Amino acid sequence: MRIRLLVVGLVCGLVMCLAVPADATIEYTPIDLIPGATPGLGPGLIKPSETFGKEYSHDMDESTTLGGGTPDTEQVIAWDGVGGTDDGLDYTGTRPSFDTDSQVDATAHHADALFRSIRDDRAHLIFSHDDMISYYTSGPPIPVASGFIAATVPSAGPIPLSGGSTIAGAGELSYELAGDFAAPSTHGTWATQTEINGMPLPADVDGVELWGPEPGIEGDADKYSLQVDIFSAGAGGPPATSVWNLSGTPYISHATIVTAVTTLLGAVPDGAVIPFPDFIDGNAAINLDALMVRDVIGDPNSFDRSPDGSPGDQIIFSIQQILSPGEPDGYYATGSELFVLDASLGPAGVEYLEHGGHVWDHDYALTELLISPDLIEGGYGVIDINAIEAVGALIVPEPTALALLLTCCASAVVIRRRRV
């Protein structure tokens, strides 16, 4: 009898082990917020677990169902900041003119909460970078004679940079403190892999949106980009689109982004390419992959000029790294230039973002954002930023909510005194 029971127990145990998936998504825990709470500014840095309405896109897109990590194109994930996740928005089937399922590589809300504060260098920049870059086997002298090689950037930090700072890995989120509150180029890790998704750990965060509804599964990332922008150009449909609306209509054309980028970086030279996911050259290589939006003029589904000539709808964006072996530094675009585009000024009015006490331009990337040679076999390569957002120091209740909270606290004190 004992032998039979032992055998039955072993069999049952084996069945139970086989039935439990190796990875199991950690349950999402909503943040308990006072109604009307908004992000506030200051020298401190709010924690991910205190930041509400968080969404991220993974490369490759995936779902949290069936144990997590299940491939699911155009699926965005809600995360709670302590490892819990759940499925959020899914853009699949929303575009009548381009119904091909693609990979999401940038997300934003049409009224990103701290957009103006980022422009004023008073909010802290949050960013991630690609897990795949191309590097050169040796750096300048000029011109670069050696070929470029694909490199995998670690998903977990710290990642040492040439400027002396360290940032998070490709599956995490880094920060740059606002210039109003810190020394220039103050970088570090804001959210680790285990805070973003405890199981399975993210390998490459390529889109982030904060300050949406809570729980984050409701989602507010109503602007997004697909990889690669030029792929959205098809027979009978609209021209290639760089930014889409959640409603399924184009928001900003690829042509607009091309004009903006080439205004600052010059024409795309012969031989310049993006190697991932395929070798693409010319203007087609310009691919928007990080985004913030401030749409305040007219219809939020259109990128509009102001009727009186004042600032119009605006975006902050970055593009995918573009290699150019014939260039002195080997790059047409490092992928870490951050551009600001104002609809009222047109593509010719594009400028670089000033944040963290410096300009996010080509020269800054080449001097401050080179990856440690120890991580790329002694080579020469630059990080490729592929997600941007902004945070502050704390959460501030709206005045009416704060007054209600103070009233409740005062009432609680009175009641306690009466009981005493």
Side-chain-facing half-sphere of 59: CA atoms under 13 Å: 28
For 402, list phi and psi in degrees, rounded to 5.
Answer: -65, -40
Tens digits of residue pLDDT in 141-194: 444 445 678 889 999 999 999 999 999 999 999 999 999 999 999 999 999 999
pLDDT at 347: 84
| Rounded Cα distance, 255 and 222, in Å | 21
Given the structure tokens 């001097």, which residue do they identify?
367
Q: Are 299 and 231 in contact (CB under 8 A)?
A: no
pLDDT at 206: 97
**Model pLDDT, residue 272:** 93
Helix, strand or coil, per DSSP, at residue 231? helix
pLDDT at position 236:
61
Predicted pLDDT at 15: 34
| Element at 5 (helix H, strand E) | helix 2-19
Mean pLDDT over all residues of the chain? 87
pLDDT of residue 412: 39
pLDDT at res. 10: 35
For the segment 244-273, what is each residue's pLDDT rounded down to a tens digit? 999 999 999 999 999 999 999 999 999 999
Q: Is the pTM of this model over 0.85?
A: yes
pLDDT of residue 237: 65
Which secondary-structure segment (H or E) carries 86?
A: strand 85-90
pLDDT < 70: residue spans in the chain? 1-24, 139-147, 235-237, 398-420
Whole-number pLDDT of residue 111: 98
- Are 225 and 108 in contact by the 8 Å Cβ rule? The answer is no
